[in-house]
A and B are shown apart, each in its own frame.
Chain A
Amino acid sequence: MATLPMSPTLRRIRLSHLFRPANLSAAVGATILLVLVAAAVLAPLIARYPPNHIDILHALQPPSWAHPMGTDHVGRDVFSRVLYAIRLDIVVVLFVTYFPLPFGILIGTVAGYFGGPTDAVISRIVDVDIAFPFLVLVIAVVAIMGPGLSGAIVGIMVGGWAMYARLARGEMLVLREKQFMLATKAMGYSHSRSIIRHALPNLVRSSVVFSASDVVINLLVLAGLSYLGLGVQPPTPELGAIVASGQPYLLTAWWIATLPGLVLVIIGVAVSMAGDAVGDRWGGSSG
C-alpha cells in the first residue's frame, strides 16, 4: 500500500540519537541525572537510617562520616531524608510534567488544526490559564483542595498544561501550510490520521524541549509549596520541607537548611544541561 512520504522529522527521531552526547555539558548533565535517579531508586539500600527515625540524643549534629549531612533538630539523619526526598521529588515532578503534556499537545493541535471558533475558544482558555501567575494559581488550587501532596499535584497540573497547548498550536499553525500536510488533505485522509501520523512528530519537538525547563520550574514549585507548608506535609521528607525544618536553626545548624537546597540546585542544573543538549539538536522551531 502506498504510504505518504513521512515528514522529514519522523525519520530523524531514533532512540539512539537520544543517547549520543552532543557535547560535554550534556554528558555531565546526563551523568548527574543518572546518579540522582540511581540514588532515588536505591534509597532504601543506601540510606543508613530510616528517614523518620528520631534520635533526640544526636540532634543537630554537624556533617560527619556517620551522618554525611548531619542531623536535624530531632536527630533524624538528614542524608537519609534527602535520599527519600529525591525519590519523591523526582517521581512527582516527572509525573506532574509529563502527564499533562500529551493532553496539552492534543488540545493545542486541535485548536491549531481546525481554526475558527474551536481555536478561539480553546485559545482563550489557554490564555486565561497562562495569565495567572503559576505559583499563585497553584497556591489557590491547594487552598481549595487543602494542603497536601494531592493538592500540589493537581495544582501544578492545572497550571502546567496550557503552555504545551500554546506551543503545539503555534507549531500546528505553521505546519498546516506545509506541503505534506496539504498533501494529506488532497489524498482525502481523515482529520485524525493527518494529525496523528504526520503532524504530531513535529509538534512534539518544541514541547519536549520546553519540558526540560518545565521540570525545573515544577520542581522548584513543589519544593516551594512544601517549604511554605502547603505541599508535602511533615513528616514526609521533601527537599523544600527539609529546608523549612532547618530554618529555625539556620545559625547553629546551617546544614539542615542549606544542603538539601544545594541538592535541588544540582538536580535543576543537571536537567537544564541535558535539556539544552536535546534542545540544541532539535531546535525550537518546526521543520
Chain B
Amino acid sequence: MAWYFLRRLLAAVPVLIGLSIVAFLLIHFVPGDPVAQMLGGKTTPAHVEMVRHQLGLDAPLWRQYLRFIWGVVHLNLGYSITLNLPVMHVLRNRGTATFWLLLYGVGVAVVISVPLAAWSAIKPDGWVDQGVRFLTTTAFAMPSFWLALVLALIFGLQLHWLPVTGYTPTFPGLFVSLTLPAITLGMSLVAVVIRTLRSTMIEVLSSEYIAAARARGLTERRILLRYGLRNSLGAMVTVIAADIGYLIGGTAVVETVFQIPGLGSLLVQSALQRDYTLVTALAFIAGVAVVVISLVTDFIYALLDPRVKLG
C-alpha cells in the first residue's frame, strides 16, 4: 500500500515542476512591458524600474525561477500590485469561500446524480433512463453564467427564496448564501457523473456475483445498495477527480455572477486589471490543487477497491 502511494507521489513531482515552470514563464510572454502595464499609465520610468527590481524581474531567468520556487516553498507567492497586498494574504482571505463553494457544489452534484444514475441503471433504455440521458445532455450544454442568471431570476428575484449575491462566512448563512451558486456549479458535474455512474452500475449489476447474491436470497434493495452502488463508487470518485479542473474553472464564472469574494472571481478581476503576479499565482495554485486532489482520489479509490493494492 505504501509503495503504491509513493509511486504516485513521485509521478506527480514532474507535473508539479512543470506547472511551476509554466506559471513562472507566463509573465514573460506578455507583449510589451508587464511591469509598466501592471502599474497603469501614470508612472515614471524610474518608478517602473524600481518596481521591476522589487519583483526581481531584472535578474537572469534561471535566478528568477529559483526565487519563484524558493518563494513557493516558503508560501510566498509574490506581491499584488493592484491590491497592494502580498498574494498569500489575498489568497487566505478569499480562499475559504471558494473552498466551501467547491465542496458544496460537489455535494449537490453527488446528491442529484446518485439516485438518477441508480434509477437509470436498473432499467437501461427504459423511460427513466432516456429522460435522464436527455437531461444530462442538456445540463452539459448549459453555460454556467446562463444557468446562474436563470436560477437567480426565478429563485432569488421572483420568489425571494434565496439570496442572489454575497457570501456569509458563517453557518448557517454559509449554506444559504452558497446554495444557488453550488447548484449552478454542481450542474456542470452532474452530466458526467450520471453517465459514468450509470454505465458502471449497469456493468456491475450484470456481473456473476450479483446473480450469485440473488441466488442467496438477498433482497433487491440490498443488492442495489451494497453491491451495485458500493462497487460503482470508485468510478464515481475517479470521474469527479478527473473533472475537478472544470469545476475549479467554473468558480471563475459562478463567483462573478453571484458576487462571491472567492479565488475564481479574483482571477477574473486580476485578468481584467492586468495583475500578472496574481494571475500567475492563481493559475499555479489551481494546477497544484488539481494534482493534489488527484492523489487524494487515488487514495480514496484504493480504500474502496482492495484489488488496487497489488498494483
What 1/0 flags go to A234-261 for Cβ under 8 Å of B?
0000001001100100110010011001
Q: Collect the chain A residues with CB atoms within 8 Å of residue B245's CB.
A: 130-134, 136
Instruction: Kindly state the interface size class of chain B when it binds its partner.
Output: 35 or more
Comparing A13-21, A179-187, A262-270, the segment that makes contact with chain B is: A262-270
- The answer to whether residues A258 and B149 also contact, given A131-B245, A132-B19, A140-B280 and a CB cut-off of 8 A, is yes
**Contact B267 A139, beta carbon cutoff 8 Å:** yes
Given contacts A140-B280, A251-B157, A272-B140, contact A243 B253 (CB under 8 A): no
Other A-B contacts than A139-B252, A269-B141, A271-B141, 6 sampled, CB-CB below 8 A, are: A128-B21, A131-B19, A144-B276, A247-B149, A265-B142, A276-B137
Q: Does A124 contact B (CB under 8 A)?
A: yes
Of B27, B140, B152, the residue contacting A268 (CB under 8 A) is B140
Counting CB contacts under 8 A, is A37 at the interface?
no
- Chain A residues with CB under 8 Å of B48's CB are none
State in angstroms the CA–CA spacing of A142 and B30 once bound together. 10
Q: How far is the CA of A135 from the CA of B243 in the complex (A)?
A: 12
Does B4 have its Cβ within 8 Å of any Cβ on chain A? no
The 10 nearest A-B residue pairs measured at CB: A268-B141, A135-B249, A261-B146, A128-B18, A143-B271, A133-B245, A133-B249, A133-B248, A140-B283, A136-B286
Given A124-B15, A131-B245, A243-B146, is A147 in contact with B140 using a C-beta cutoff of 8 Å?
no
Q: What B residues does A143 contact at CB under 8 A?
A: 270-271, 274, 276, 279
A251 touches B153 (CB 8 A): yes
- 10 A-B pairs, CB-CB below 8 angstroms? A124-B15, A131-B245, A136-B249, A144-B276, A145-B29, A223-B145, A227-B253, A250-B149, A250-B152, A269-B141
Decide if A269 touches B146 in the complex (CB within 8 Å): no
Q: Tell me which residues across on chain A come within 8 A of B140, comparing CB atoms.
A: 213, 216, 268, 272
B22 and A133 contacting across the interface, CB-CB below 8 Å: no
**Cα-based distance from A264 to B150 in the complex (angstroms):** 14
Chain B residues with a Cβ under 8 A of chain A: 14-15, 18-19, 21-22, 26-27, 29-31, 137-138, 140-146, 149-150, 152-153, 157, 244-250, 252-253, 256, 267-268, 270-272, 274, 276, 279-280, 282-283, 286-287, 290-291
Complex: A224 Cα to B255 Cα, angstroms: 12
A131 & B15 in contact (Cβ 8 Å cutoff): yes
Q: Is the interface of B mostly helix, strand, loop or mixed?
A: helix
User: B249 CB to closest chain A CB, in angstroms?
Assistant: 3
Within 8 A of B (CB), among A136-160: 136-137, 139-140, 142-147
A188 to B284, CA, bound (A): 46
Counting CB contacts under 8 A, is A110 at the interface?
A: no
Q: Is B272 touching A229 in the complex (CB atoms < 8 A)?
A: yes
* A10 on interface, CB distance cutoff 8 Å: no
Whether B143 contacts A265 by the Cβ 8 Å rule is yes
Query: A125, B18: Cβ atoms under 8 Å?
Result: yes
- B282 touching A136 by the CB < 8 A rule? yes
Q: Does A220 contact B (CB under 8 A)?
A: yes
Asked if A55 is an interface residue, CB under 8 A from chain B, the answer is no
Q: Are A136 and B153 in contact (CB under 8 A)?
A: no
Give CA–CA (A11, B282) in the complex, Å.
Answer: 49
Q: Which residues of B contact A228 (CB under 8 A)?
A: 252-253, 256, 268, 272
Name the one of A124, A224, A254 contacting B145, with C-beta atoms under 8 angstroms.
A224
B143 touches A264 (CB 8 A): yes
Contacts of B244 in A (CB 8 A): 133
Taken together as a complex, chains A and B put the C-alpha atoms of A256 and B152 apart, in Å, by 15
